[in-house]
Amino acid sequence: MTWQPVVDAWRASCEGQALEAFLADRRAAGATIYPPEPFRALELTPLDEVRIVILGQDPYHGPGQAEGLAFSVPAGQKTPPSLRNIFKEMIRDLGSAPATTHLGDWARGGILLLNTCLTVEDGRPASHAKKGWEALTDALIESCARDAAPKVFMLWGAHAQAKAPLIESADTGHLILRANHPSPLSASRPPVPFLGCGHFSAASRWLAERDRPVQWVA
């Protein structure tokens, strides 16, 4: 199974055409748009290989940061605060974390790192929100949920948790894990602090029991 039918249907839709026109207008106006490869998460993690879905919100809006994978930045970039907390929780939960900020190994290993909005303008967070990307990413989430192969959905923060009905309505028995966003503003706060949530080991155990092991650290 591939993502192509979902992407093609979106491109033919009103939302897809409006988004493409919006991007063309912004580029014509001289806007700098990140990332250079908005569909990279789909290219690195085919639908039939997805084991875990981690939902982000918006690509990074600084030069050289966004690379089409939620929470990931190229190796050598300064570790963003949310990713720093992700690694901090991994070390607490699993005893280790990746040695690089680039999460390509996760993506190639079945961990879909999907932002709900796939582009952004330089220095303008959420500048492309509600322009048409959400119609695509909601459809991608629904496709993951409808596929019966066991998956874990990690929903961190209110924005990601708002997508839970898309998963639950499929009624296919996937595991949904909820916690606060790993941002320093919320990672330690109630109702479910991200730091201490244990999501990484919980996902590993659940998937291993279903013969779909995942590797967090090479």
Inter-residue contact 88 to 183 (CB < 8 Å):
no
> Any catalytic annotation for residue 58?
yes
Kindly tell me the burial class for residue 194, based on how many C-beta atoms sit within 10 Å of its own C-beta (0-12, 13-18, 19 or more): buried
Helix or strand (DSSP H, E) at 176: strand 175-179
Distance, in Å, from the CA atom of 119 to the CA atom of 23, rounded to the nearest integer, reads 9
Distance, in Å, from the CA atom of 56 to the CA atom of 158, rounded to the nearest integer, reads 11
Phi, psi of 216 (to 5 degrees): -85, -35
Residues 6+ apart with CB under 8 A from 12: none
Residue tagged active-site, from 58, 93, 122, 211: 58
Distance, in Å, from the CA atom of 171 to the CA atom of 174, rounded to the nearest integer, reads 8
Instruction: Using the structure block, give the residue that is written with the tokens 């201490």.
Output: 196
Nearest to 60 by CA among 47, 50, 73: 73
Cα–Cα distance list, 28 to 22, 44, 128, 132 (Å): 10, 29, 15, 19
Residues labelled catalytic: 58
